[in-house]
Chains A and B, each alone.
Chain A
């Protein structure tokens, strides 16, 4: 395939990775542990939207020129709310207990792996092992100058990523909540002393991270099939993007996601596509060797 065409596909993959990584880096920066259930939260988001358009049969007509049905708008809202509540609930039941006990953050990382296994099993139990789709609608590509192809769905995905990135920017830098989140990430004890209810901030962080990863999951599934292990495969690229951008730095994570996505897809210009999954890993290792604090600095 043409190199520029591959870069467009990469931009798309990068948008999904970047959106997911923005949530991952926020929870990493504030909770101080790597959340290994982030990938399976993504899968849950995909399937919650499917619950609306598939299981409940609320798909409605196709929104031409997009392939997706009208009902997916309700689906994505439902998915974002559902995953946000789940993430906050898990924090209440599991991580908060560990925090109060003064557990090492690494213990929370192990607990998050347990949560990941439970989530994946629960998704399989609810929706079965077979792959699913949001719609069978066709989505003819637009032809750009230079014989490049881009589908309307793909334009929507890239656009939505930009909108959500701007929204997150406004929350982080134009609201009191965002200021409190940054303070908590910087030094939770000091934030506590300054009168910030850090437990509330943590809940808000989980909800934002959950909503973002759910939207990322739905956006991925618009393009591909829903599979119970699809989200887990995004875990490594999202971690690579998080570390590339600097832990706790959402803009870094978005840029990191785009870098990971574009380099992964354009790598197939030179190497067999079976090996492209190794590219995010190579980026991760190179970053750990050279700049473990990320390109744009980390809140740690």
Chain B
């Protein structure tokens, strides 16, 4: 399990430098997850496409960027390409690769029942891991791709690099946020919501729903690919087993469900809240009593499964519910009840509104 923050122990955290290091690393990681969860929002939150293979798109983006930016393979490694292109080209390539994968997966599945796509995507992730770890002369098999170039190489020295990394990742997150907000608030985004809520009606209104779904799925896949590329250069080396379903699919899903599907601020908030829990628990490991401390990694896994179920049952809209107002040209009359009100309603037994139709 690739725990980006695991090497830090509590003793280290006590010092100010340690705390700063951890926080900078944490914010960088959360920003990457934020990008992934925003992409999932395009697919699931706005369009109702169930993608259980998020890690596949993330992984393809990471590997593509590695292949584009690394030097050609030498005697000890075997991988294709190795074009030594600039990192920005690598990122663009990662996004394109994620989009192309979405197109390939979407073609046989997007016109069928929604669960078929979920089943197929779980398969895609497993297949890609197998191919990456056992195909000869492709991506260096289980040894992975190592020594990826750093951002703005040579421009900054060691101790300042983490700030550059954090800043660049945050800017990328902000740009993706603005992009996703713009497209989901556009007329195109309203069609997506219409398809999600009632496909037959959208069809009756003359919208080619399969084509719209494909567009949303490809856009989401491309953003996931971009996130994978950002991640690859951040960690410097990637290998197939680093892209586990738990880390790359289930954790982002929990973030989206907790934050609030269909709300872009909710997506980022979910990444922050669930991410703080996920990456923060190892820090308190030593303070926990014996057996709990030893198994804290499994307990936090149990906890994210529980979070998904609890939120679906009692807070199906997440911490930040979807805005009912679909256009800035509409009057501001319809505001959803705030979180506390919704919680109160739940425990007084009033049924929470739930998404229906799909």
A residues lining the B interface (CB < 8 Å): 33-34, 36, 94, 97-98, 101-107, 109-111, 113-122, 124-125, 233, 235-236, 239, 243, 272, 274-275, 277-278, 280-281, 284-285, 288-289, 292, 300
A115 contacts B309, C-beta separation under 8 Å: yes
CA distance A253 to B97 in the complex (A): 35
B295 contacts A125, C-beta separation under 8 Å: yes
A118 contacts B305, C-beta separation under 8 Å: yes
B119 contacts A236, C-beta separation under 8 Å: yes
Chain A residues in 8 Å Cβ range of B355: 103-104, 107
Residue from A109, A233, A288 whose CB has the most chain B CB atoms within 10 Å? A288
Chain A residues in 8 Å Cβ range of B113: 292, 300
CA distance A103 to B253 in the complex (A): 18
Residue from A118, A233, A278 whose CB has the most chain B CB atoms within 10 Å? A118
B130 contacts A34, C-beta separation under 8 Å: no
Q: Which of B50, B119, B313, B358 contacts A284 (CB 8 A)?
A: B119
A114 contacts B115, C-beta separation under 8 Å: no
CA distance A281 to B355 in the complex (A): 31
CA distance A107 to B301 in the complex (A): 20
B302 contacts A275, C-beta separation under 8 Å: no
Pick the 4 closest A-B CB pairs, nearest first. Answer: A117-B305, A114-B308, A118-B305, A121-B302
CB distance from B128 to the nearest CB of A (A): 10
Give the contacts of B299-344 with A (CB-CB under 8 A).
299, 301-302, 304-309, 312-313, 316
B352 contacts A121, C-beta separation under 8 Å: no
A111 contacts B301, C-beta separation under 8 Å: no
Contacts known (A113-B253, A236-B123, A277-B130); A121 close to B115, Cβ less than 8 A:
no
CA distance A98 to B358 in the complex (A): 14
Chain B residues in 8 Å Cβ range of A102: 354, 356
**B122 on the A face (CB < 8 A):** yes
A274 contacts B130, C-beta separation under 8 Å: yes
Contacts known (A111-B308, A288-B112, A292-B116); A36 close to B298, Cβ less than 8 A:
no
Return the chain A residue nearest B352 by Cβ.
A101
B50 contacts A110, C-beta separation under 8 Å: yes
A104 contacts B357, C-beta separation under 8 Å: yes
Could you count the A-B residue pairs with CB atoms below 8 Å apart for me: how many are there? Answer: 132
B130 contacts A117, C-beta separation under 8 Å: no
List 8 additional contacts besides A98-B312, A121-B305; criterion CB under 8 Å: A34-B119, A103-B355, A107-B316, A109-B115, A110-B308, A117-B308, A233-B126, A236-B126
Return the chain A residue nearest B244 by Cβ.
A229
Main secondary structure of the interface of B (DSSP, over half): helix
Residue from A33, A113, A120 whose CB has the most chain B CB atoms within 10 Å? A113
**B108 on the A face (CB < 8 A):** yes
Return the chain A residue nearest B115 by Cβ.
A34
In the complex, 25 of the A-B residue pairs with CB atoms within 8 angstroms, ordered by the A residue number, are A36-B52, A36-B122, A97-B313, A103-B354, A103-B356, A104-B356, A106-B48, A106-B114, A107-B355, A109-B115, A110-B50, A110-B308, A113-B253, A113-B308, A114-B308, A114-B312, A115-B305, A119-B305, A125-B295, A233-B126, A274-B133, A277-B126, A284-B119, A292-B112, A292-B116
B302 contacts A109, C-beta separation under 8 Å: no
CB distance from B207 to the nearest CB of A (A): 20
Q: Which of B119, B299, B302, B352 contacts A239 (CB 8 A)?
A: B119
Residue from B118, B250, B253, B351 whose CB has the most chain A CB atoms within 10 Å? B118
B122 contacts A235, C-beta separation under 8 Å: yes
The number of chain B residues with a CB under 8 A from chain A is 47
A34 contacts B118, C-beta separation under 8 Å: yes
Contacts known (A104-B355, A110-B312, A274-B134); A117 close to B119, Cβ less than 8 A:
no
CA distance A111 to B354 in the complex (A): 14
Q: Which of B134, B309, B358 contacts A111 (CB 8 A)?
A: B309
CB distance from A28 to the nearest CB of B (A): 8
CA distance A278 to B112 in the complex (A): 21
Chain B residues in 8 Å Cβ range of A113: 52, 250, 253, 308
**B70 on the A face (CB < 8 A):** no
Return the chain B residue nearest A293 by Cβ.
B112
Return the chain A residue nearest B295 by Cβ.
A125
Chain A residues in 8 Å Cβ range of B126: 233, 236, 277, 281
CB distance from A270 to the nearest CB of B (A): 16
Q: Which of B108, B133, B352, B358 contacts A288 (CB 8 A)?
A: B108
**B109 on the A face (CB < 8 A):** yes
Return the chain A residue nearest B310 by Cβ.
A114
Return the chain A residue nearest B303 by Cβ.
A121
**B246 on the A face (CB < 8 A):** yes
CA distance A239 to B307 in the complex (A): 26
Return the chain A residue nearest B355 by Cβ.
A104
CA distance A300 to B116 in the complex (A): 13
Return the chain A residue nearest B141 by Cβ.
A274
**B170 on the A face (CB < 8 A):** no
CB distance from B244 to the nearest CB of A (A): 10
CA distance A284 to B112 in the complex (A): 13
CA distance A272 to B134 in the complex (A): 9
Chain A residues in 8 Å Cβ range of B39: none
CA distance A274 to B126 in the complex (A): 12
Return the chain B residue nearest A119 by Cβ.
B305
CA distance A57 to B250 in the complex (A): 36
B309 contacts A94, C-beta separation under 8 Å: yes
A278 contacts B130, C-beta separation under 8 Å: yes
B130 contacts A109, C-beta separation under 8 Å: no
Contacts known (A107-B312, A272-B134); A125 close to B298, Cβ less than 8 A:
yes
Residue from A103, A122, A300 whose CB has the most chain B CB atoms within 10 Å? A103
Q: Which of A106, A119, A121 contacts B299 (CB 8 A)?
A: A121
**B284 on the A face (CB < 8 A):** no
CB distance from B252 to the nearest CB of A (A): 12
CB distance from A288 to the nearest CB of B (A): 5
Q: Which of B116, B309, B352, B356 contacts A118 (CB 8 A)?
A: B309
Q: Which of B108, B115, B130, B307 contacts A285 (CB 8 A)?
A: B108
